[in-house]
Amino acid sequence: MTTVRLTPTDNAVSFDTDALVVGVHTGPDGLLPAPGAEGLDQALGGRLAATLESVGAKGKPGEISKIPTFGALTAPLLVVVGLGDAPGDGSKEGYDAEILRRAAGTAVRALAGTGRVALALPAASAEHAGAVALGGLLGAYSFTRYRTAGEQSSPVSELAVLTDAEGAQAAIERATTLATSVSLVRDLVNTPPSDLWPARFAEIAEQVGTEAGLSVEVLDENALKEGGYGGIVAVGQGSANPPRLVRLSYSHPEAGTKLAYVGKGITFDSGGLSLKPTASMDWMKSDMGGAGAVFGALLAIARLGLKVNAVGYLCLAENMPSGTAQRPSDVFTSFAGKTVEVLDTDAEGRLVLIDGIARAGQDDPDVIVDVATLTGAQIVALGWRTAGVMGNDDDLRAEIVATAGEQGEAAWPMPLPDELRKGLDSPVADIANLHPERFGGMLTAAIFLREFVPDGVRWAHIDMAGPAFNKGEAHGYTPKGGTGAITRTLVGLAERYAGEPPR
């Protein structure tokens, strides 16, 4: 992975690097160099703004201008990234961290193939230095494992963050830890399902999790059958690659709170016998993104040594049609003891999650949060980039939405209207997995899950069907394909419960 280090801001002109990145604002009277760019204008003979205007720069977010320095700076290339309007209060500290993350990511993505990149963006506080580092590291991500020619390794080898802020070293260490987790989640999502099936995912979790200091337990298909995990068994029974349940746990002697995270880990979702149409299937390798986020978050929590207790469950299965697959109208008994009629085998995520949620209840957690690429209805309701947050506790739901916002991950609260519960009544079992109404599909899925939440436990559900996988163009620090979405929100929530300030 790309490495990152710090250097003081007065180094900008003479810093030995292949590209120097600065920011520019859209000002009322033209372009306005951002903090970090001041000294450079002088070195460039006062021509920075005029040069930028001549190449059509407007200072808008997402905009990049590359300017050769002809020896005026040690860096041969100056890269100017748009930051939009200057902070309303006009201060060096007034920046929104997400603007900085995205700007750093945009710049580093535009510099793929460049060896060393120095980021002289506004970083007056440790939080902002961390944001610049994180955006840069996430923007440097690439997935080239399956290419036989060309770039095989990280396209940017070293990042330097120019800052004088106190505490910046700790902030870039946190950023590196987060970026390592998010990059691993992206790799897992991007890995073709022929190379990532439940047992393989469990092996990776065991190996990497143990190295990070987590306790890891894996239940195989026999243990799942014996243990009464009817949902995970039912979804996995159609595949030649049997299911797994992974439990990751982390504890801190001074912890006040125990968090339980449960992730949907469908390594491929064909729909099962309720087969998906081709156009909806080709990206269903991403259906383990929830388990990926839980895994990545537990790794980061352990590596950061946060003052919380945390358990993570990865509910791993491959949803395939075959002679052994579950049939629409089959009934199974879930881990919680309730029976479920399976009317649609493509509504499989909720079936594996209810076993994970009920099992998590045995750990006596204060909070359960499940994360899943659960419904196409989430994308209909909120679009590709905004996750839906639901739950049985409005305060917890609000905390998660706020935490996501702090980390720069878009999430929005959604309701669980009681009148939708009736549609899940089954004529034969305790509950059916499909609501006859297509409308409100994100909500009915969550209402199904709610039935399996242990009594008295605060629970929230994050549907990230859209955010987990970027089918469009790369933007900011988000690449095409696997995004690692919600990993940072889960870490941020743990930091919040560990009593750490938001950053």
Sites of contact with ligand BES (CB under 6 A):
269, 287, 344, 346-349, 373-377, 434, 441, 465
Half-sphere exposure of 310 (CA within 13 A, CB side): 31
Asked if 238 is part of the footprint of Zn ion (rule: CB under 5 A), the reply reads no
d(CA 465, CA 376): 7
CB of 316 to ligand BES, least distance (A): 14
302 binds, among Zn ion, Mn ion, ligand BES, none (CB under 5 to 8 A by kind): none
At 356 the three-state DSSP class reads helix
Contact string (CB under 5 A) for Zn ion, positions 278-297, x = contact: ---------x----------
Site residues for Mn ion per CB under 5 A: 269, 346, 348
Quick one: 208 or 275, whose CB is closer to Zn ion? 275
Strand-pair category, 244-250 with 215-219: antiparallel
Quick one: 269 or 370, whose CB is closer to Mn ion? 269
Half-sphere exposure of 347 (CA within 13 A, CB side): 24
Asked if 269 is part of the footprint of Zn ion (rule: CB under 5 A), the reply reads yes
d(CA 348, CA 344): 8
110-118, 195-203, 222-230, 266-274 -> range binding Zn ion (CB under 5 A): 266-274
CB of 236 to ligand BES, least distance (A): 14
- CB under 8 Å, gap of 24 or more: what pairs does 278-281 form? 280/376
List 174, 244, 303, 350, catalytic entry: 350
CA angle 117, 123, 124 (to 5 degrees): 150
Quick one: 145 or 471, whose CB is closer to Zn ion? 471
Asked if 406 is part of the footprint of Zn ion (rule: CB under 5 A), the reply reads no
Quick one: 49 or 266, whose CB is closer to Zn ion? 266
CB of 264 to Zn ion, least distance (A): 7
CA angle 138, 266, 342 (to 5 degrees): 145
CA angle 143, 100, 470 (to 5 degrees): 35
377 binds, among Zn ion, ligand BES, Mn ion, none (CB under 5 to 8 A by kind): ligand BES
The dihedral over CA atoms of 156, 157, 161, 167, expressed in degrees to the nearest 10, equals 130
Instruction: Show Cβ contacts of residue 460 under 8 Å, excluding neighbours closer than 6 positions.
Output: 367, 368, 369, 370, 389, 390, 391, 392, 393, 396, 397, 400
186 belongs to the catalytic site? no
At 218 the three-state DSSP class reads strand
CB of 260 to Mn ion, least distance (A): 24
Q: Which amino acid is at 270?
A: S
CB of 348 to Mn ion, least distance (A): 5
- For the chain, the maximum distance between any two Cα atoms, rounded to a whole number of angstroms, is 80
Of 184, 200, 197, 129, give the one whose Cα is nearest residue 160. 129
441 binds, among Zn ion, Mn ion, ligand BES, none (CB under 5 to 8 A by kind): ligand BES
Contact string (CB under 5 A) for Zn ion, positions 333-372, x = contact: ----------------x-----------------------
CB of 483 to ligand BES, least distance (A): 12
How many residues of this chain bind Zn ion (CB under 5 A)? 4
Instruction: Show Cβ contacts of residue 486 under 8 Å, excluding neighbours closer than 6 positions.
Output: 289, 290, 293, 371, 387, 404, 409, 411, 462, 464, 467, 468
Other Cβ atoms less than 10 A from the Cβ of 499: the count is: 12
d(CA 258, CA 211): 22
CB of 347 to Mn ion, least distance (A): 6
Integer CA distances (angstroms), 26 to 48, 58, 105, in order: 14, 6, 19
Of 90, 106, 97, give the one whose Cα is nearest residue 22. 106
Contact 99, 108 (CB under 8 A): no
Quick one: 60 or 276, whose CB is closer to Mn ion? 276
Quick one: 2 or 267, whose CB is closer to ligand BES? 267
CB of 444 to ligand BES, least distance (A): 8
CB of 227 to Zn ion, least distance (A): 23
For Zn ion, the binding residues in 433-472 under the rule CB under 5 A are: none
SS3 readout for 359-384:
HHHCCCCCEEEEEECCCHHHHHHHCC
Helices (H), ranges, 140-257: 168-190, 198-211, 221-227, 230-236
Residue 129, H or E segment: helix 126-139
List 200, 225, 276, 307, catalytic entry: 276
Quick one: 139 or 441, whose CB is closer to ligand BES? 441
350 belongs to the catalytic site? yes
Quick one: 35 or 440, whose CB is closer to ligand BES? 440
Quick one: 2 or 470, whose CB is closer to ligand BES? 470
Q: In the complex, which residue's CB is closest to Zn ion? A: 269
For the annotated catalytic residues, the residue numbers are 276, 350
